[in-house]
Structure 1
Amino acid sequence: MVKPSRPLGVVLALLLPVLLALTVTAPARAAAPGTAAKQYLVSGPATAGQRTAVARTGAAIDAVRPDGTLEVSAIPSEIAAIRKLGHTVTVLAAPKPSATAAATSYHTFAEMQASLNATVAAYPQIARKVVIGQSYQGRDIVGVKISDNVATDENEPEALYIANIHARERLTAETALDLIATLTQGYAGNTRIRDLVNTREIWIFPMVNPDGQVYDMTSDTQPGRMWRKNRQPAAVDLNRNFPYRWGCCGGSSGNSGSETYRGPSAESAPETRVLTNFVRSRVVGGRQQIKVFLDIHSYGNLVLWPFGYTYSDTVPGALSADEEATHRTIGRQLAASNGFTPQQASDLYITDGTTDDWTWGDQRIFSFTFELGGGGFYPAPSRIDALVAGVRDSLLRMTEYADCPYRAIGKQAQYCSA
C-alpha cells in the first residue's frame, strides 16, 4: 500500500471523535440504543429473484458466498420473514478482534483528516482539500481534488470517487486514501499517473458517512459495532436515500429499524444532500463535468453498474444499448484488472435509491460500484496493504476512461468528438 501520511499530532486529534461519540443520538428503533443488526447465513436463495425476496424483508445482503448462500445483516422480524420464505437461517459469529493489531490500524476520522492535510501540504500544486458540507452531527464531509493547476476549475473531464458511505466498510476508506497517495506520490516519477493528473480533475472523498464511521470505530469492543447507517435519530441507509427511483421497487425498507431504511423521503439525510448538491454543482455551462463515478463498498468481490432498480439491461430514455454496452465493457475490464466478478447491479438483487442509479439515471455519469474483498467488514489490519493494492490498477483504468467512456466500445468519434 502507498502509505498516506499519519502525523504524530494525530494522537491528540483522536480525542475528538471519542468525545463526539459520547453524544451520538440513538436511532429510533425497538432495540437497545446503538444496537446494529446481527449477521446471519441464509441458505436456499439461488436466483436474483430469490435474493431480491430476501432483500425485500429489509435485511441487508452483505455478501453472496461462492456456494450461493447469503451473508445478511438483519433484525429479528426480518429473520422471521426470511424463514417464512422457506430458507434456512443460522447465526454467524460476531467478528473477532485481530490478534495482530487494534482497530486503530484503520484510519480514524481524525487520522483521515490529518492525512489529507499532510497530502495537500506536501503536494500543493496538485492537491487541494475540499469540504463539501457537514453530516447530521456536524462533521465535515471532506476530500481532495487532484489535478495540475488544482486551484483552477479547468475544462477537463472529471472523475469522482466516494467511500465509507456504509460506516462499517472500513477497507473502502483505506482504498480511497491509497488512491490519493498513489496519484500524489506517483506524480513526479510515473508517466501514467502524471498524464492522468495533468488531463483530469479527480475528486476523492474517503469518508462520506463520518458520523457512522466514528460511531462504528469508537466501539467498546473490537473490531467494531457493525454499524451501517448514518446517525440521525431514525438512522438512514444513505445508499437507499438518493432521489432516483427512490423507494420504487422493493429495493429498500420503510422500517426505520431496518439496515436498508430508505428514510422518510428522498435526500432526507443531510449526507445524501451534500453529495447530490456537490454533483449538481459540477454542471458547468449546462454540461456535467464528472464523467465517471465510483462508490467503493465491501466485501463482495464485485464490479457493479446500473441499474439496480430493474432487471432490464436497457431502459428506454434512461439506458440505451450503447450506454449499457459501455458500462458493461468498462465493468468487465475493471474486473479483469482486480479479479472481481462483473455484473449489472440488479443481477445481484433489486435495490432502489442508490448512488449509482442516481448518478447515472439523473446525471448521466458512467457509474460503478466496487465491492471489495476481504471476507468481512473488518479484515485483519495485516491484510490491508494487499487488499488495497489489488484494486489500484483498476482505479487508474477507470480514471483513464473519464475523457470518453464510449471509447470502451469504439464509439468515441460518434459521442465524444464535439
Structure 2
Amino acid sequence: MCIIHRNSILLFSVVIFLCINVYANERVLIRLDEPDRQTVEKFISGNYDVASYHPEKYLDLVIEFSQYQLMLKEYPGIRILQTEEQIKANLHKGKDIDGYRNYEQTLAELQQIALDNPDICKLYNIGKSRGKEYSEMGISFYDDFNHDIWALKLSDNVEIEEDEPSFFFLGSHHAREPVSTEVVMELLNNMIDNYDSGTDMQNRINNSQIWFVPIVNPDGKKIVLTEQDIWWRKNICDNDLSLNFTDSIDGVDPNRNYGFWWGALGRSDEPFTLGYIGEEPFSEPEIQAVRNLIDSHHFVAGITYHSCGEMVLYPFGYEFNAIPPDINSISVLADKMAASIPSDLYGTYESFQCVGLYPTRGTTDDYAYGEHGIFCYTIETATEFIPPYSEALNVCNDNLDAAYILLDRVNSSALTGIVTDQVTKSFVVAEAYVEGIDNLGIFKEAYKSDEEFGRYYRILEPGEYNITFSAYGYIPVTIPNVTISSSEITNLDISLTPAAFRDISGYIAEDITGLPIKNAEIEINEYTSATTNDDGYFTLINIPYGNNSFEVSSPNFITQNTEIIIDETTAELNFNLSQGNFEDFEDHNFSTFNLSYDESYFDWYISSYMPRFGEFYARSGWIFETGWPSTLILRDSIAENGNISFALEISIISVGDTFEFIIDEEVIKVWNSVVRWTTVSFPVTTGFHTFTWEFNKNTSSDLDVHASIDNITFPRIIETGIENSDELLVKNCDLKQNFPNPFNPTTTIEFIINKSENVKLNIFNIKGELVAKIIDKILDQGSHRVIFDGRNLNSGLYFVSLEAGDFKQINSMLLLK
C-alpha cells in the first residue's frame, strides 16, 4: 500500500505540474490602468501585442499567463480581463442566440440579400484571399482557406455607376475582431429593412452608392472562429515558406499593408511581429481587393470597424505631427459620430486623431484620406475583442446612428459641382483647391473631380471660402467668397477654358564649354517630359500657355528648377547646366566623396529599404537614447560658386526631434515634421566647407525616428594642401596619373604646383574636343586633388590636360562602363 500511495502522489503531482504549465502558456488579456506615457511607449514599441489603448485611462495587452505573473512584480495593479476559455465561450452560440457569423454564413446571407432585393442590391466578388491563392497553386493544406472577398453594393439603379457620392463600410481587417463583421451586417440589414418605411432611408439609398465588405480577412477570421488561435490578428501569408500555417511567423497585418506612408515602425518589418507590414505596400491580395474598390469609385466617406476601445479615430496616424488639412471638418464629424454611440465606460464613445493613440502606418484611414481625400474613420467598437454575442448585438445597434450621421454629412455644409471643358462640354478632372485648408497641414494628394462625371465633393465647415479650380492644359479659375451653409449643400459648377498649346524645342548644354548634354531630361509640371538626343536637342509636344514648372536634370550636373511663362512668342528654350559632383550611393558605400559619419554615435548607413531613386540611399542611424544625434559629414573644397542639392525624406519623427542641414557650423535649414521625398537646394561659395546632415532625437521615444538623403549634387570639388618641404619647393609642377584607371564613373586627379599660379585643368576626348572644363583659377602652391565624374560620357580614351604658368602636361585615362 505504501508503494501505491507513493505512485498516486507522484501521478497527482505530474497532473498538477502539467496543468500549471498548460495554463502558464495560455495567453490572457490584461489591463494596466492609467499608464504613464513612458510605460505606454515601452509596450507599444517593444513588439507587445497591444489589444487596446485609451490615453491616460488604460492599456490592454495580450500576453502569456507566465508573463503576466512576472509583470505583477513591476505592475501590481494589472488585472486579467479575459482568458482564452472565456473568449472561446463567447464564440459559442448562446442558448437562444445564434453566434458570430463565419465566412460561409456571411456569404450565404449576402447572396440571399442580393436575391431578395435585386433592385437595390448587387453582390460582387472583388478579390481573393491569400489562402485561395495558395490553394489554386496546388498547395492542399490551404484548400480549407479557399475564400473570396465579397462586396455588396446598395443603391437604386444598382446595376450602373451613377453620379452619386459613394460610401464604404468594412469589417474584419483583423481576424480576432469578429464583432466588426456583425456591425457591417447589422447596418446592411437595417437599411434594407427600413427602405420602404421611411423617407430618410430611401434618400440615403436612392441618392448614394453604399458598399459593404463584411470580411476583409476571411482566412484569419477562420483561424479565430475555429479556435485554432483565438488571438490571431493577421492573414495567413506563408512568410517562412513552410507550405502550412505557422503560429506567429506567418501572416501580414492587413491594416498595415496599405500604400500611403507604408513602412516600418520599430520592428514591424520583421515577419514574426504582430503588426508585420508585408514585403511591400499592397503585397496582400485582400488589401489589393479593397484598394481596387476604393480606387474605382468616387467615395466621399467610409468607416472601417474594429474592436475594441469604444473610440472613433480619424487620420492621420502615421506620424505625430501629421495634421490633416481638413482637421476641422474631419474631427467635427468624428465628434458627432462618437457622441451618438453609447459607451459602457464613458457615457459615449470618444474621438481622437489616430496618432493620438500611437503611430501606425499603412492603414485604411491614411490611404483613403491621403490618396483620395475620403473622410475615412476607424471605429473601435466594444470593450472586448470578442464580447459575448448577446453583448455584440447591442454593440451593433449602438453603432447604427453613427453610420447614418456619416451618410447624411454630404447633405449640408458641403460643396459639390461638375467641372467641364468650356469648348467641348466634356468632363474635366480638375483640382478643387480651398484656400485656408489645402495650404495647411501635412501633405495629401489633391482633391480632384472624377473622370466619369466631372463631379467633385468638399466637406467643409460653414463659412466663406476662396476656391480655385485647375487642370493641366486649362486656365485656372478662382471663385472668391463661396458661402458654405450649415443647412444645405452648396452647388458650384465650373467651366474651364482650355489654354492654348504649342510645341517647344530647345537645347541643353554644359555651361562652360557649351557642349551638348545627351540624355538630359526636361520635365514640365510633372505631366510631360522629354530627353535630349546625342546633339543635346529636345522637343516638347503640346505645352500649355501660362506659367509652367520646368525641371532640367542630368547625372553629373546640377539640377535646374525654374518657372517659365509660355506664350505665343515662346518657340525655343535653351538651358545651360553646371557641372557638379553627384552622389547617389549606388556603390553601396560612402567612399566616393569625403563623406563620413565617424563623429556620430549612431552611424548613418546605406539602405535599400523602399528607395525613391535607384536601389540605395543614405539613412540616419536608429537613435535609441534621447539627446543623441546621428550625423553625416562632407568636407571638401568647392571650386566654384553654385548650389548643393539633395533629395530628402523624413518618414518618422517625434514632436521635438529635428533634422538639420548645416554648412560650416551655420544651421541652414531645420525640419521638424514628416517630409516625403523632395529635392532641396542651397547656395554654396568657393572654398573649403564642411556640410553636415544631422538628426537630433530630443524626445523620449523608442520609435525608429530617422531621415534619409539621396542624390547629393554639388559644384566641382578640389582638395588642396600645402607642403612646405624644401624638396617640394625645387620641384616642377606634376600631373599624377588618375586613380583608379580605368574608372567608372568617377576617378581622382591629383597634381602639384610649386607656386601660386593660374591653373587650367581640362578633359578632352580622343578627337581633341573639350568635354569638361574642371578648373580655371588661381590656386595656391601645394598638392591638389579633384574628383572627376564621367557618367555623362561614353566609354573610351580621354586626356587630362594641366596648365600652370609655362608648365603643361597631358595624361591619358580610360573610362570603361
Question: How far apart are the structure 2 equivalents of 1:124 and 1:300?
Answer: 37
Q: How does 1:329-368 map to 2 (within 5 A)?
A: 329-338=332-341, 339-368=348-377
Structure 1 residue 262 and structure 2 residue 277: aligned?
yes
Instruction: Classify the secondary structure of the residue corresponding to 1:294.
Output: strand
List aligned pairs for 1:194-205, cutoff 5 A: 194-205=202-213
Q: Secondary structure, in 3 states, of the residue corresponding to 1:409? A: coil
Specify every segment of 5 or more residues in structure 2 that has no aligned partner in the other structure, as ranges.
1-24, 133-146, 239-249, 342-347, 415-456, 464-481, 485-489, 494-817
Greater percentage in strand: 2
Alpha-carbon shift at residue 331 of structure 1 (Å): 0.3
Task: Answer whether contact 1:299 1:372 (CA < 8 A) is retained.
Answer: yes
Report the equivalent of 2:35.
45
Contact 1:249/1:309 (<8 A) preserved: no
Q: CA deviation at 1:263?
A: 1.4
Q: Distance in 1 between matches of 2:45 and 2:75?
A: 14
Aligned counterpart, 1:167: 175
1:239 aligns with 2:262: no
Tell me the secondary structure at the aligned position of residue 265 of structure 1.
coil
The question of 1:101 aligning with 2:94 is answered yes
| TM-score, L = length of structure 1 | 0.79
| Deviation readout 1:203-255 (Å, 9 max, x if unpaired) | 010001001111111126xxx622111011130111111111112554x7123
Q: 1:336 to 1:117 in 2, by over 3 A?
A: same
| d(CA) in 1 for partners of 2:46, 2:53 | 17
Kindly state the Cα deviation for residue 184 of structure 1 after the two structures are TM-superposed: 1.1
Pair 1:407–1:237, CA change in 2 (3 A)? closer
The separation in 2 between residues aligned to 1:324 and 1:382, in whole angstroms, is 37
Structure 1 residue 329, shift from structure 2 partner? 0.5
Please report how far the alpha carbon of residue 151 of structure 1 lies from its aligned counterpart in structure 2 after TM superposition: 0.6
Once the two structures are TM-superposed, the CA of residue 68 in structure 1 deviates from its matched residue by: 2.5
Contact (CA 8 Å) 1:163, 1:176: kept in 2 or not?
Answer: yes
Q: Which has the higher contact order (CA 8 A, sep 6+)?
A: 1
1:59 to 21, 24, 48: 48
1:313 to 1:231, Cα distance in 2 relative to 1, 3 A: closer
Indicate conservation of the 8 Å contact 2:93/2:99, yes or no. Answer: no
Deviations along 1:136-179, whole A, 9 cap, x unmatched?
A: 01211002100011111101000011110001111110100011
C-alpha distance after superposition, 1:81-139 (max 9, x if no partner) = x97xx867776642411487289611111110111111111111011101110110121
Q: Which moved more, 1:93-102 or 1:207-216?
A: 93-102
User: 1:256: how far off?
Assistant: 1.6
Name the amino acid aligned to 2:107: Q
User: Deviation of residue 416 (structure 1)?
Assistant: 6.0
Name the aligned partner's letter for residue 391 of structure 2. Answer: R
2:190 maps to a residue whose letter is T
How far residue 381 of structure 1 moved from its aligned partner, in angstroms, is 1.4
The 2-side partners of 1:341 and 1:295 are apart by: 16
Find the residue that maps to 2:127 and give its secondary structure: strand
Q: Provide the residue aligned with 1:409 in structure 2.
A: 461
Decide whether aligned partners of structure 1 residues 50 and 416 sit closer, same or farther in structure 2, where only a CA change above 3 A counts. Answer: farther
Residue 108 of structure 2: aligned partner: 114
Partner of 1:393 in structure 2? Answer: 401
Q: What is the CA deviation profile of residues 248-305 of structure 1, one whole-angstrom value per residue up to 9, with x for unaligned ones?
A: 554x7123222111112211111111111221122xxxxxx10002110011000000
Q: 1:311: Cα distance to partner?
A: 2.0
Contact 1:45 / 1:87 at 8 angstroms: preserved in 2?
no
| More helix, by proportion | 1
CA shift, 1:53, in A, is 4.3
Q: Distance in 2 between matches of 1:75 and 1:242?
A: 30
The counterpart of 1:272, out of the listed 287, 291, 296, is: 287
Aligned match of 1:13: none
SS at match of 1:178: helix
248 and 136 in structure 1: CA distance in 2 versus 1, 3 angstrom threshold = closer
1:67 offset after TM fit, Å? 6.7
Q: How many Å separate the matches in 2 of 1:124 and 1:261?
A: 40
| TM-score normalised according to structure 2 size | 0.42
SS at match of 1:204: strand
Which residue identity does 1:101 align to in structure 2? G
User: Aligned match of 2:231 in 198, 206, 226?
Assistant: 226
Could you tell me how far apart the structure 1 residues matched to 2:156 and 2:52 are?
39
Q: Deviations over 1:316-363 (max 9, x none)?
A: xxx32xx11111000000011112101111111111111101111112
SS of 2:329's partner is helix
Relative distance call for 1:211 and 1:402 in structure 2 (3 A) is farther
Alignment of 1:76-95 (within 5 A): 93-95=82-84
For each residue in 1:178-214, what CA deviation from the matched residue of structure 2 results, as whole angstroms up to 9, or x when unmatched? 1110111111111111110010000010001001111
Q: Report what 2:144 is aligned to.
A: none
CA contact (8 A) 1:62 1:71 kept: yes
Amino acid at match of 1:253: S
Instruction: Say which one has the larger Rg.
Output: 2
**Identity level (%):** 25
Structure 2 residue aligned with 1:25: none
Match of 2:311 among 273, 298, 302: 302
- Cα-to-partner distance string for 1:55-86 (whole Å, 9 max, x where unaligned): 2222342223687231123589xx79x97xx8
Separation in 2, partners of 1:267, 1:100: 36
Give the aligned residue type for 1:365.
I
State the match for 1:148 in structure 2. Answer: 156
Partners of 2:36 and 2:56 within 8 A in 1: no
User: Is the CA contact (8 Å cut-off) linking 1:36 and 1:226 kept in structure 2?
Assistant: no
Task: Give the structure 1 partner of residue 118 of structure 2.
Answer: 124
Alpha-carbon contact 2:35-2:56 (below 8 Å) kept = no
Secondary structure of the residue aligned to 1:61 is: strand
The reply to whether residue 185 of structure 1 matches residue 176 of structure 2 is no
Equivalent-residue separation in structure 1 for 2:274 and 2:26 (angstroms): 8
